[in-house]
Amino acid sequence: MKLTTFSDYTLRVLMFLAVERGRLATIPEIAAAYGISENHLMKVVHQLVRGGLVESVRGKGGGIRLACAPETIRLGAVVRASEGAAPIVECLSGEPGACCIAPVCRLTAVLVKAFEALYSTLDDYTLADLVAQPQSLQAILIRQT
């Protein structure tokens, strides 16, 4: 059970943009800072723009930036969106024949409750909490680019 790479990268992009507020950042720059693929990041940024957390400025000197204050971005909401509709267990995939006991299984309700607790805990934190002392984070990220 682990965070998907998509969620992991989503959070990393948001953290980068939070420590680099006040200027436009670029995907190649963020990819270089973390040493990860630009292609992966493009999909992540696309979803963040679509979800309204990030805004994109086109043209020469363009780039991306946070569309709202880090204090307003709850981590549970971010991860819920980046994890999307993927089932938390195979039998919830809705595919016929996935698990024969699905119609009477009590486990799925317990799992849904447990994942709710996970997201609810994440919602206790905002993006601002992750970058409360941005200097050390900034020093590492900018060193890499």
| Binding stretches for its own copies (CB under 8 A) | 1-5, 7-8, 11-12, 15, 33-35, 75, 79, 83, 86-91, 97, 99-101, 103-107, 110-111, 113-122, 125, 129-132, 136-137, 140-141, 144
Q: Which is nearer to its own copies, 49 or 88 (CB)?
A: 88
Is the Cβ of residue 39 or residue 136 nearer to its own copies in the bound state?
A: 136
Collapsing DSSP to helix, strand or coil, 57 comes out as strand
- For its own copies, which is the closer residue by CB, 54 or 131? 131
Tokens at residue 109, please? 């309700």
- Scanning the structure block, which residue is given the tokens 């993927």? 86
Rounded Cα distance between 142 and 85, Å, is: 34
Structure tokens given for 66? 């946070």
